[in-house]
Structure 1
Amino acid sequence: MKATGVFLLLSLALCCYQGNAETDGGGAKGTEAACGNYNLRRGCTKIFDPICGTDNLLYGNECLLCLQNQQRNTNVRIKNRGMCQKPSPRSDSSLN
């Protein structure tokens, strides 16, 4: 009886913990990037059209977000077009 209670408590804790987990900074929020519009093998243009990813990192354009997803095997989505509300450490260091 005591083992059953412990098992139920651990199961409940595990379910709650997994519900709050976020993988790869992607989450389910944001808009999917249109990566099919770009030939990632040829690289991306240098046109600055900032994208804030769901990982709160600033990308120079949508193509660069797609390229990072491909290279890191992640699924970061577009949080918003334009600058991130709170600059990430990576985007701050690029200003120096």
Structure 2
Amino acid sequence: MKATGILLLLFLVLCCYQGNAETDGAAGKGMEAACGNYNLGKGCTKIFDPICGTDNLLYSNECLLCVQNLQRNTNVRIKNRGMCQKPSTRSDSAQN
């Protein structure tokens, strides 16, 4: 029974990682954030699920990226889920 549970868990993990993969052609453009999944007027959770934006800024989660897009009237997309390879600091982006 334990072996079946472990195999099922491993299968689910592998399925989840396949869904986050991007082809090389789409990597420069990024993926659109699913902002419709969040009630941006109520704020975001404090769950740390890092998102690297196409602006090379690290966002704590997808909801916070959506809030920043709304506040700044921008369309930053998801470059990748997880940490940025070379993240910019907010002060660096403000100077440009």
Q: Where on the TM-score scale, by shorter chain, does this alignment land: which range?
A: 0.5 to 0.7
Q: 2:38 matched to 1:33? A: no
Match of residue 65 from structure 1: 65
TM-score (ref. length: structure 1): 0.64
TM-score (ref. length: structure 2): 0.64
5+ unaligned residues in a row in structure 1: which ranges?
1-27, 92-96
Query: What's the % identity of the aligned pairs?
Result: 88
3-state SS, counterpart of residue 32 of structure 2: coil
Deviation by residue 1:35-89 (Cα, 9 ceiling, x = unmatched) = 0000000000000000000000000000000000000000000000000000212
Aligned residue type for 1:37:
N
3-state SS, counterpart of residue 52 of structure 1: strand
3-state SS, counterpart of residue 33 of structure 1: coil
CA shift, 1:90, in A, is 3.0
3-state SS, counterpart of residue 80 of structure 1: strand
Which structure: greater helix fraction? 2
Paired with 1:89 and 1:62, the residues of 2 have a C-alpha distance of: 18
Paired with 1:68 and 1:87, the residues of 2 have a C-alpha distance of: 16
Match of residue 80 from structure 1: 80
5+ unaligned residues in a row in structure 2: which ranges?
1-27, 92-96
Paired with 1:43 and 1:30, the residues of 2 have a C-alpha distance of: 24
Aligned residue type for 1:38:
Y
Paired with 1:73 and 1:30, the residues of 2 have a C-alpha distance of: 18
